[in-house]
């Protein structure tokens, strides 16, 4: 499924958060959305999962205007793993994944045998089938995130949106989750904080800075040390990863006395 954003802008209480965003994710492509805090990554993603209506611009999935089709149909085309994965209440893991079947069900329908098989197979794909009968609230952060991916998979949507999916996960769970989603064979659009994750896993990065797309392209062509310094206000060095041998981005804060780069107020805050 091909995702296209053309001229998308969002204002919140009159002040622009993102402006005039153009973005394309080709079928099967893994696109990373990167940028500093407050650059508008989450806002942009929210327009795609219909949590926030853009003021201008069109978002389309294979030519269908995402905001003009019914919400449930949109949810059969794209699924989302949100940043805050808390679910209130005593739901079992299976019940959480069953929520993802909602867009495929009429309002009073119960889960059919087919639904149950889909729920099982989604849990198997994230390697969490053994937890199906446990309470979601008793899982670890990494396990919960896997279950939430399974819930998104249960929507059987060809496009998967991920908003900082590795937040709050330990390193092993971070890499495990990224391995998992990369191998799903879906079109992926993920907001990522870790530049090395973007470099190692994604086909393309789109860089947001102050609400606008400043650059887009293959990770290592885009994320040059100079570019990283301009956008993120940190020093960067790219060299071979000592374990994998692949290019690795090493980062260090800018010395505060250096006159160029981002304004001094910004990195003392960080």
Partner 1 sequence: MAEAHEARSRGPHLISGPATGALLTALAVSLAVVCLLAVSIGSVTLPVAAVWRVIGAHLAGQDSPSALDDQIVWDIRTPRVLLAAVGGASLSVAGVVLQALVRNPLADPYILGVSSGGSLGAVLVASLGTGSLGGLGVSGGAFVTSLLTVFVVYLLAQRGGRLLDSRLVLVGVAVGYLCTAATSYVQLQINPTELQGMMFWLMGSVAGASWSDLGLPTAVIAICMTYLLFQARNLNALMAGDDAAAGMGVAVHRLRITLLIIGSLLTAAVVSVVGGVGFIGLMVPHTARFAVGADHRRLLPVSMLLGALFLVAVDLATRTVDRPNELPVGIVTTVLGVPFFLWLLRRRAGRGT
Interface contacts to partner 1, rule CB under 8 A: 46, 49-51, 70-76, 78-80, 82-84, 86-92, 94-96, 99-100, 102-103, 105, 107-108, 110, 117, 120-121, 124, 129, 132-135, 137-138, 148, 152, 155, 161
Task: Write out the two tokens for 69.
Answer: 């089709």
Burial string for 105-123 (b: 16+ CB within 10 Å, else e) reads eeeeeeeeeebeebbeebb
CB of 234 vs partner 1, minimal distance in Å? 29
CB of 248 vs partner 1, minimal distance in Å? 33
Q: How far apart are CA 3 and CA 256, in angstroms?
A: 41
CB of 190 vs partner 1, minimal distance in Å? 14
> Which CB, 67 or 227, lies closer to partner 1?
67
- CA-based R_g, the chain, Å: 19
> Which CB, 103 or 219, lies closer to partner 1?
103
> Which CB, 140 or 253, lies closer to partner 1?
140
Q: How far apart are CA 100 and CA 156, in angstroms?
A: 9
CB of 22 vs partner 1, minimal distance in Å? 23
> Which CB, 82 or 166, lies closer to partner 1?
82
Burial string for 141-176 (b: 16+ CB within 10 Å, else e) reads ebbbbbbbbbbbbbbebbbbbbbbbbeebeeebbeb
CB of 267 vs partner 1, minimal distance in Å? 30
End-to-end CA distance of the chain: 38
> Which CB, 89 or 239, lies closer to partner 1?
89
């Amino acid at each position: 499924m091909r995702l296209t954003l053309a001229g998308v802008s969002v204002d919140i209480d009159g002040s622009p958060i993102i402006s005039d965003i153009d973005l394309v994710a080709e079928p099967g492509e893994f696109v990373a959305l990167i940028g500093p805090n407050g650059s508008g990554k989450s806002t942009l993603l929210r327009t795609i999962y219909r949590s926030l209506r853009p003021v201008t611009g069109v978002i389309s999935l294979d030519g269908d205007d995402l905001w003009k089709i019914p919400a449930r149909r949109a949810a059969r085309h794209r699924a989302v793993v949100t940043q805050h994965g808390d679910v209130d209440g005593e739901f079992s893991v299976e019940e959480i994944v069953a929520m993802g079947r909602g867009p495929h069900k009429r309002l009073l329908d119960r889960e059919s045998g087919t639904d149950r098989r889909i729920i099982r197979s989604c849990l198997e794909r994230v390697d969490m089938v053994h937890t199906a009968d446990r309470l979601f609230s008793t899982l670890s952060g990494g396990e919960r995130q896997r279950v939430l991916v399974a819930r998104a998979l249960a929507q059987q949507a060809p496009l998967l949106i991920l908003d900082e999916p590795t937040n709050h996960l330990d390193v092993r769970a971070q890499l495990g989750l990224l391995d998992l989603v990369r191998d799903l064979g879906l079109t992926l659009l993920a907001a990522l904080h870790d530049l090395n994750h973007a470099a190692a896993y994604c086909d393309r990065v789109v860089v947001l800075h102050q609400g606008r797309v400043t650059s887009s392209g293959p990770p290592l062509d885009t994320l040059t040390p100079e570019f990283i310094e301009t956008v993120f206000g940190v020093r960067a060095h790219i060299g071979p990863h000592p374990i994998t041998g692949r290019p690795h981005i090493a980062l260090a804060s800018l010395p505060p006395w250096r006159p160029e780069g981002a304004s001094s107020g910004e990195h003392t805050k960080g």
